[in-house]
Amino acid sequence: MGITYNEQNRTFMLRAADSLYAIAIVDEGYLCHAYYGKNVADEDLTYLLRLDENPFVPSKNNRDRACFLDATYLEYPSFGIGDYRECAFRIIDENGFSATDLRYDSHRIFSGKPKLEGLPATFADENQAQTLEITLKDKRTSLYVTLRYSTFENLPVIARSVSVENKGCVNIHLNSIMSACVDFDEDDYDMITLYGSWARERTASRVPLHHGKQLVDSARGESSHQYNPFFVLCSKNADEETGDAYGFSLVYSGNFKALCEVSQHNSTRAMLGINPLDFEWLLEPNARFDAPEAILVYSDCGLGKMSRTYHDLYREHLIRSKYKYSPRPILINNWEATYFNFDDKKLLDIAKQSAELGIEMLVMDDGWFGHRDSDNSSLGDWFVYESKIKCGLKNLVDEVNALGMKFGIWFEPEMVSPDSELFREHPDWAIQVPDMDMTLCREQYVLDFSRKDVRDCIYGRLKDILKSANIEYVKWDMNRQLTEVGSAMLKANCQRELWHRYVLGVYDMMERLVTDFPDLLLENCSGGGARFDPGMLYYSPQIWCSDDTDAIERLRIQYGTSLCYPPSAMGAHVSVCPNHTSGRWAPFKTRGIVAMAGTFGYELDITKLSDEDKQCVKEQIADYKKYNKLMICGDQYRLGNVNSDRSFDAWIFVSKDKSQAILSVVQIDSRISTHSRRIKISGLDENAFYKNNEDGSVLSGKALKYCGINIKGLYGDFAAKTIYFTKCDN
Ligand code: GLA
């Protein structure tokens, strides 16, 4: 296990759980990628590079170096010297030249994992991880590029990041610095990406690779509703249990590019990093730039194992909140209950009824500040709207606390409304290009968070509010994407840095928040789930999944999200029917079962619920208390696929010791048939016996997996049920 270097064949072997990643330094110092996949014994794998097959190996025959570079599997290809596939690294120097030639310079292997300054990243202590740093050098410019690879104890994960340092004496403009690049020997893969739009986030799409480039990206200033900074390359036969799956996930919340390119030689280059589109960074002498971290996961047992590896890694080594493994308070949010139309009295009515039913926290959403009665004003004026919260914020929170409930609040710190005191005082604080109309979106502009003065002012206002009362939860929203990207403070040759500087500014704000308020439960949100990415998970243990709270739509959204992100991070609430987004009706029970595969809570006017639904709330809360630990700490096995089978969905959460499990089944189309539905249950101990606590029957884990159980037809579309299994003696 771990990372080794073999002097003889100049090969690095990175062993992570049962996976192996091999890198070789070849003649003339090119750094080549030899292998990524299932672990094998310590053998010389350099034959995989086919160096002896190529007639034009530079050290032997230099007459066609470009031909060599265009076919070789390079670990970090730079632009301009003959590799015409997508490059990972591109600059423009002071004289306008863009070619660089990166060759091996040095390396070091050490225990633990260094931090990335100002960026979110996975963490591990000295006993949990090992790191390899390989430094490459471009002789002409004296640029030193350091590739960093960390392996984790017991997880088939490689965390990669890249830094570049200018040790020359002239300025360099960085145009592309991807975080990871892997050359695969074959093209026989499917590519899975997550696409969507507002209220339809992270729908999984699976297509075969073809010659040329296929990619998803964002140039919107955030990771986006439209695509997620994540993709999978998998063998054609890969399903939940079998086949190879390689996951690529970027720990970043801004513009990204995720690409696969099938080459003329039928090899595949996979790449992930900051989107080079409109990116530029001035690197002065002695300056350094750190690119965000990319997380690579290899699974030899299909998509299920890949996802569970991401879930474990992100829970254990990315999320820092004290809430990561502890039950979150069951919350009720007033957004879908009232929208902007509320006051302190209405909130207290909701709180009183909620407390009676066992709900544990009231979250006051948008509309409590400035003079905000609709989405057309007041962002930036983070002062209590006194004619709405007439009793004052402190009194409101105290009254909610007196009911035995916690209190949470909504902010949208990155934004400013044209109709706000803040904008009237500081119009230059909004991101804009001089002499150009500023594009409105949801009637708001984006604040220039690259500026410390702007961040200091907004943070001060947030902090004052949070200190003014016992506020234990914050929902941090971000409801528009960036346009006319320009800053009043950046010089002309640094304007293109704003995209990345903006994201660093957001990270700085969130870091301050979680440092000053370590017990705060922070939930991220962006017009629903437009910033559901690992960068955000570093600051908040949960992210609002989507403004679409329809339980049936949520099956698809939560399925796609679960490919990379742990269910414990998925903000999910029970709302009313007909659903406000889709108009669909689904049983109250089903809405609870689907929301319980996420953080669970309510988003409805509880004062208007029928007695029957109120009784159901009580039952759901009892279930949550009983099973939530299993969901936030256990392993999830997906047993259905709503993308391919629109008739049902199913999943099971199994405790790590496999002693108990909770199965959920949702019927999408009712079956008018005497036949029950057979569901095969993975994840249990095949050699143990389990009691089905619904009917008392006992079956072995093996029978449950290979034979399955019969789920009798549930009455009506969208009906759902759960079954609790416990390990028992036969
Ligand atoms: C976004 C969020 C919603 C709600 C509104 C408030 O759309 O996703 O949950 O907070 O903003 O304006």
Q: Which residues are catalytic?
A: 477, 547
What value does the mean pLDDT take over residues 353-375? 98
* Confidence grade of residue 697 (pLDDT, cut at 50, 70, 90): very high
pLDDT of 386: 97
Average pLDDT over every residue of 53-79: 90
Tell whether the model's pLDDT for residue 663 goes beyond 70. Answer: yes
- Evaluate if residue 672 carries a pLDDT over 70: no
* Mean local confidence (pLDDT), 436-465: 98
Q: What is the DSSP string of 37-85?
A: EE---S---GGGG-TTT-TT-TTT-GGGHHHHHHHS-BSS-BTTSS--S
Confidence tier at 269 by pLDDT (50, 70, 90): very high
Ligand 1 within 6 A of CB of 366: yes
pLDDT (0 to 100) of residue 52? 86
For ligand 1, the distance from its centroid to the CA atom of residue 602, given in whole angstroms, is 14
Q: Using a 6 Å cutoff on CB, does residue 544 contact ligand 1?
A: yes
- Residue 717 clears pLDDT 90, i.e. is over it: no
Whether 714 has a pLDDT exceeding 90, the answer reads: no
Quick: pLDDT tens for 101-119: 999 999 999 999 999 999 9
Query: Lowest-confidence range among 81-95, 304-318, 462-476, 664-678?
Result: 664-678
Instruction: Say how far apart CA 691 and CA 211 lie, in whole Å.
Output: 51
Distance from the Cα of residue 512 to its chain's centroid: 21
Residues 143, 172: contact at Cβ < 8 Å? yes
Q: Are the C-beta atoms of 468 and 405 separated by less than 8 Å?
A: no
Q: Which stretch of 22-31, 376-385, 501-510, 639-648 has the lowest confidence by average pLDDT?
A: 639-648
As a whole number of angstroms, the distance between CA 324 and CA 24 comes to 39
Q: Is the beta carbon of 222 within 6 A of some atom in ligand 1?
A: no
pLDDT at residue 715, rounded to an integer? 85
**Domains along the sequence of the chain with CATH:** 2-317 (2.70.98.60), 333-488+519-544 (3.20.20.70), 648-727 (2.60.40.1180)
In this structure, are residues 541 and 324 in contact, taking their beta carbons and an 8 Å threshold?
A: yes
Q: Which residue type is seen at 711?
A: I
In angstroms, the CA 438 to CA 427 distance is: 11
Query: Would you list the DSSP string of 459-471?
Result: HHHHHHHHHHTT-
- pLDDT higher for 651 or 58? 651
**Mean local confidence (pLDDT), 270-294:** 98
Phi, psi of 152, deg, nearest 5: -110, 145
Q: Stretch 497-523: mean pLDDT, rounded?
A: 98
- Cα(344)–Cα(388) distance, integer angstroms: 6
Read off the pLDDT of each residue in 317-344 and give the average, rounded to a whole number: 96
Give the pLDDT of residue 266.
97
Across-strand partners of 102?
A: 138
Q: What are phi and psi of 46, to 5 degrees?
A: -70, -15
| pLDDT at residue 1 in the model | 60
d(CA 483, CA 668): 40
Average pLDDT over residues 532-546: 98
- Residue that wins the pLDDT comparison between 324 and 429: 429
Percent of the chain with pLDDT over 90: 94
Q: Cis ω on the peptide bond leading into residue 578 (within 30° of 0)? A: yes
Q: Taking Cα atoms as reference points, which of 511, 557, 509, 506 lies closest to residue 254?
A: 506
d(CA 68, CA 70): 6
Is residue 555 a contact partner of residue 649, using CB atoms and an 8 Å limit? yes
Q: Is 367 in the pocket of ligand 1 (CB under 6 A)?
A: no
Cβ of 368 closer than 6 Å to ligand 1, yes or no, is: no
User: What phi, psi does 724 have (nearest 5°)?
Assistant: -100, 130
Beta-strand pair 203-208/189-195: antiparallel
Count of residues in the chain: 730
Please write the tens of the pLDDT for every residue from 249-266: 999 999 999 999 999 999
Split at pLDDT 50, 70, 90, the class of 342 is very high
Sequence letter at residue 497: E
Q: Tell me, in angstroms, the distance from the centre of ligand 1 to residue 218's CA.
A: 21
Ligand 1 atom closest to Cα of 475? 10
Q: What is the mean pLDDT of residues 389-411?
A: 98
Is any atom of ligand 1 closer than 6 Å to the C-beta of 479?
Answer: yes
Task: Categorize the per-residue pLDDT at 135 as very low, low, confident or very high, splitting at 50, 70 and 90.
Answer: very high
Ligand 1 pocket, residue 547 CB under 6 Å? yes
Contact at 8 Å (CB) between 557 and 529?
Answer: yes
pLDDT (average), residues 621-631: 97
Q: Is 663 helix (H, G, I), strand (E, B) or coil?
A: strand
Q: Is the pLDDT of residue 61 over 90?
A: no
| Ligand 1 site, residue 365, Cβ cutoff 6 A | yes
Sequence-ordered list of residues with C-beta below 8 angstroms from that of 78, at least 6 positions apart, any chain:
87, 88, 89, 90, 99, 100, 101, 102, 138
Closest CA to 701 of 664, 665, 661: 661
CA distance 531 to 544: 9
pLDDT tens digits, 159-176: 999 999 999 999 999 999
pLDDT of residue 481: 98
pLDDT at 673: 60
The yes-or-no verdict on residue 582 having pLDDT over 80 is yes
Sign of CA dihedral 34, 37, 39, 40: negative
- Whether residue 97 has pLDDT greater than 70: yes
Indicate the pairing of strand 361-364 with strand 406-411: parallel
Q: Which of 446, 599, 447 is nearest to 523 (CA)?
A: 599
Q: State phi, psi for 588 to the nearest 5 degrees.
A: -55, -40
Ligand 1, pocket-test mutation among 473, 479, 581, most atoms within 8 A of CB = 479
pLDDT, residue 647, reads: 86
| 541 contacts 318 by C-beta, under 8 angstroms | no
- How many A from CA of 475 to the centre of ligand 1? 9
Q: Is the pLDDT of residue 28 over 80?
A: yes
The pairing of strands 698-700 and 689-692 is antiparallel
Instruction: Read off the pLDDT of each residue in 425-430 and give the average, rounded to a whole number.
Output: 98
165 lines ligand 1 (CB under 6 A): no
Query: Quick check: 581 pLDDT over 90?
Result: yes
Query: Measured in angstroms, how far is the CA atom of residue 289 from the centroid of ligand 1?
Result: 34
Q: Mean of the per-residue pLDDT values for the chain?
A: 97
Q: Whose CA is nearest to atom 7 of ligand 1?
A: 527
What DSSP element (H or E) covers 149? strand 143-152
- The alpha carbon of 528 and the centre of ligand 1 are apart by a number of angstroms equal to 6
pLDDT at 674: 65
Residue 28 burial by Cβ neighbours in a 10 Å radius (0-12, 13-18, 19+): middle
- Predicted confidence at residue 675, as pLDDT, reads 79
Provide mean pLDDT across the span 181-210.
Answer: 98
pLDDT at 453: 98
Q: Answer for the pair 640, 651: CB distance below 8 angstroms, yes or no.
A: yes
Name every residue whose Cβ is closer than 8 Å to that of residue 485 and which is 6 or more positions away in sequence: 221, 278, 431, 433, 495, 498, 499
Q: In terms of Cα–Cα distance, which of 239, 114, 247 is closest to 193?
A: 247
Q: How far apart are CA 666 and CA 586, in angstroms?
A: 11
Contacts (Cβ under 8 Å, ≥6 apart) of 435: none
Contact 595, 621 (CB under 8 A): no
Q: Measured from the CA of 525, which atom of ligand 1 is nearest? A: 8
Angle (CA) 684 588 691, round 5°: 25
| CA-proximal residue: ligand 1, atom 6 (nearest) | 366
Q: Tell me if residue 142 falls in helix, strand or coil.
A: coil
Q: Predicted confidence band at 155 (pLDDT cuts at 50, 70, 90)?
A: very high
> Above 80 in pLDDT, residue 670?
no
Indicate if the pLDDT at residue 49 is higher than 70.
yes
Write down the pLDDT at residue 716: 85
Instruction: Report the distance separating Cα 163 and Cα 502, nearest Å.
Output: 19
Alpha carbon of 376 to ligand 1 centroid (Å): 14
Whole-model pTM: value is 0.98
